Amino acid sequence: MKRDPVLSLLKSYVPSNRIEYDMYQETIKFVEDNADCFERTLVAGHVTASGWVISPDRDRVLLMHHRKLDRWFQPGGHCDGDSDVAFVAEKEVTEETGLTSVSLAQTGIFDLDVHLIPANSKDPEHYHYDIRFLFEADPDQELAINAESKEVRWVPLSEVHHLNDSESILRMVRKVI
């Protein structure tokens, strides 16, 4: 079954706190209940994948200013039918930041989050079941923005809260420091 690898990844993950544990349970149920969970055509929501990209010294993280949502986030996006969420996360990182060389800094899931995406001109309000991976990259690599971002920049972990102070982002900061 196409969902077995992601269910295996999920079931080997240990959430960091009660809030993440509740989202973990919700994500497992969503994946088990929806054969088309990797398709953005599933109106209620879909699995997405993203990457928390840190510098080798673990002092900085790469964030992008999301054009549609007008907020700073880690790079990531829709699976579009691909059940290999680690591959999707790496692909999204390279497409959205211009990085040419990234490496997985940790095996398995780094973090997960369930969040509501507001309605827009194309899509109704829906949920993203975001599976996140930890990557490492050299901050001296050239960066490039694409149509989905206004800006991409390396941010000291101690300053991330100035750009996005959501629990979802701050939880990932705490996991690295």
* pLDDT score of 29: 98
Token code pair at residue 61: 């993280």
Cα gap 26→10, rounded to integer Å: 11
Helices (H), 111-165: 160-163
Residue ranges and CATH numbers for the domains of the chain are 4-176 (3.90.79.10)
CA 70 to chain centre: 16
pLDDT in tens, the chain (177 residues): 799 999 999 999 999 999 999 999 999 999 999 999 999 999 999 999 999 999 999 999 999 999 888 999 999 999 999 999 999 999 999 999 999 999 999 999 999 999 999 898 889 999 999 999 999 999 999 999 888 899 999 999 999 999 999 999 999 999 998
Sequence-distant (≥ 6) Cβ neighbours of residue 127 within 8 angstroms: 30, 44, 45, 46, 114, 115, 116, 117
The answer to whether 73 and 64 have CB atoms below 8 angstroms apart is yes
The structure's pTM equals 0.96
What's the pLDDT score for residue 19? 95
Quote the pLDDT of residue 69.
Answer: 84
Please state, in angstroms and rounded to a whole number, the distance separating the CA atoms of residues 102 and 56: 11
Strands 45-54 and 126-136: what pairing? parallel
Neighbour tally for 54: CB within 10 Å:
23
pLDDT at position 135 is 98
Q: Are 80 and 163 in contact (CB under 8 A)?
A: no
Q: What is the pLDDT of residue 1?
A: 72
What contacts 12, CB < 8 A, 6 or more positions away? 108, 109
